[in-house]
Structure formats: structure tokens, C-alpha cells
Structure 1
Amino acid sequence: MLKIWGRTNSTNVKKVLWAAEETGVTYENIAAGGAFGIVSDPEYRAKNPNGLVPTLEDGDLVLWESNTIVRYIAARYGNPELFIADVGQRAKAERWMDWATSSLALPFRDVFWNVVRLTPDKQDLTAKDNGLKTCSKLFAMVDEALASQPYLSGSKFGVGDIPVGCFVYAWFEMAIERPDLPHLKSWYEQLKLRPAYRKSVMIPLT
């Protein structure tokens, strides 16, 4: 049985849980990180020297880095729709996975922490406002891409939709001002119809 280490309110852990749910593979989620601790324990560091979540165990195979884990689950347990058979189309989809990490994650964190996680006396409103401006521009790029195709993976849902899909849930559910991005909104509404998304991603924001 797969073991997925990580707290369920982590965006990176949500990616992995969502991918696992999409494939229907049996897995065990072991709470770790944040209030659950464990990630500094020597036993955990032997699996993941970064001391971060998620970590995947599949028999003797141990993986860390959320996008890598999503790709592995899709390739090992998914179908050709989730792990796109055409190499070129899959690469076009997967670029959104890496873009979510390299471009979106940092400014999004400034918004999320200052809206959801930090108490008012600890909030950095300048960082929040700058994050909102940057995220609005970045999500406009996603909106433009979705103007010509229903999913970031192309004509059908696939691995390329998972990382940005985890961020977009909080983007629409946080009490913030957002630009009107109709294609992004339509995509989000389609994701909300997926049982795996509702179970793994659409949980209370904490």
C-alpha cells in the first residue's frame, strides 16, 4: 500500500492526495509536518532529508518533491488520460506543474498566510497586497491559456491541472478581491465536479 506522509492542509500534500484519488489506488495518509511534527525525526529525515512534506513510500521506493510524486502516481497507477500518452502534449501540460512551483507558489504564500494563517497583529499587509497583484497577473496567464482549451492539460483533465488546481481553490475561496477571469472560473467549476478534487482539495482553509 502507498504511504503518503504529510498534513492534509498543505497545498503540496493536496496535490499528491488528489492524484492518488484520481487513480483509485489504495493509500495511507500519515499526518506529518506543522503541528504534527515528525519531519525532524531521524527516521523521517532518512526518507526525506529536506524535512518537508509530502513524502511517498511505495514498497521500497521513496520519493519527495510533490510534482515528481504526482508524475509517478499518474505514470504508475493512472490511465492515459491522467498521464498523457503523447510525449509532446504531456510536456505542454507538465510545464504548468513546474510553473506553479517556480512562479505562483511564493506570491501566493504571501497572500494565503496573511489572509488565512496569521493573526491580524502579525500580518504583513504590504506583502499581502504585493502578492495579490502578482497572483492576479499570473492567474490572468492561466485564464488566457484556458480561453483556447478546457484544461491546462489540453482537451481533457490531466496531471498538468493538479498543482494549479490546488492553488485555485484557495484563490476563489479566500476573502480577497479578485479580477474577473471567466475562463479560470469556468475551469474551477469543472474541477469542483470531480469527486477526487472535492475530497482532497476542497477542505477548510487553515
Structure 2
Amino acid sequence: MKKTLILLALMPSVAFAHTGHQAGSFHSGFGHPFGGADHMLAMVALGLLAAQIGKRAVWVLPLTFVTTMLLGGMLGAGGMPFPAVEPTILASCIILGALVALAVRLPLSVMLAGTALFGAAHGWAHGAEGPVNGLAVYAAGFVVATALLHGLGIVAGKAIPALALRLTGFAAALAGVTLAMAG
């Protein structure tokens, strides 16, 4: 089961999650993070990072991401601007992957601030591309999907040896750079 989840997360997909969605559908909200490699990479990389750091980071980093993602989603749905949202999303892939690859141990407060910024950016994209009606159901879908992707990263981060974890972080950062160069 664990290997299947990892393989599914690594399957190629559209580079950016910018497609239309059914009004108010949990399914469309759930599918949004899986519709773009940029979202999947960042969310799994955050789980890898949380597992690598351990202790409180295992729950506080994902919780911070999801909470600020919801706030960002409300801002995006409300039409509030978020300058450079796409570069911020791509930066999240690169930076989170690099932190894992280099096994960097920043203070938790710094990690939480970066996580909050990245969560808000991803949420803004989800909200801005969300339905006009039924946004709460749609948001529930992208929250569940995000939590599952974080969980996948945590499970993988705890299951693989430290060197493989760092190589996975490197692959995520490299994929983020590739997406940035393609865009």
C-alpha cells in the first residue's frame, strides 16, 4: 500500500493545477492538488521535511500549511491579489526539497513562517480557481487531499533511509527547478 501511494504521487501530471472545477464539488477540490506537479511536490516535500525534523514538526508543519492554505484560499476566492503567487508556489517546491536534501535544521519559527507563506500561496491558487458556489465543500476536498499528501511525505520520510530521504528531497528540488524553467 505504501509503495502504491508513493508511485501514485510520483506519476507525471500537468505541471500547474489551473483547470476549471465543478461548482461546489468535494471531488473537484480533492483533485485540485493532484492536478499539478507543483502542488504535489510541495505538499509531499513538506511531509518529508516534517518527518526528517521529527518531534513537533511532524504535526505542526502540516497543520500550519493547511491552516494558512485555507486562509489563502479565502483570499483567492474573494479576489484579493497575491503578487507572484506562481513563483512562490514553485519556490516552495525548490526550497522544501532543498531543505530535505541538505538536511537543514532551521529554527522551528523560521520553518513555520516559510510554511505559512507557502501554504497561503497554494491556498490562494486553490481558492482563485475554485467554484463560485459551494466553496466550502470544494475547500474540504483540497484540505483532505493536502493532508493526505503531507501524510504520504511523512510516511515515506519515516520509512526510507536518511540518504534516500535526502535524495528524494534533491529530486523534489530539481523537479521544482525544472517546472520553473518550463514556465
Greater relative contact order structure (CA < 8 Å, 6+ sep):
2
Structure with the bigger percentage of strand: 1
The structure that has the greater radius of gyration is 1
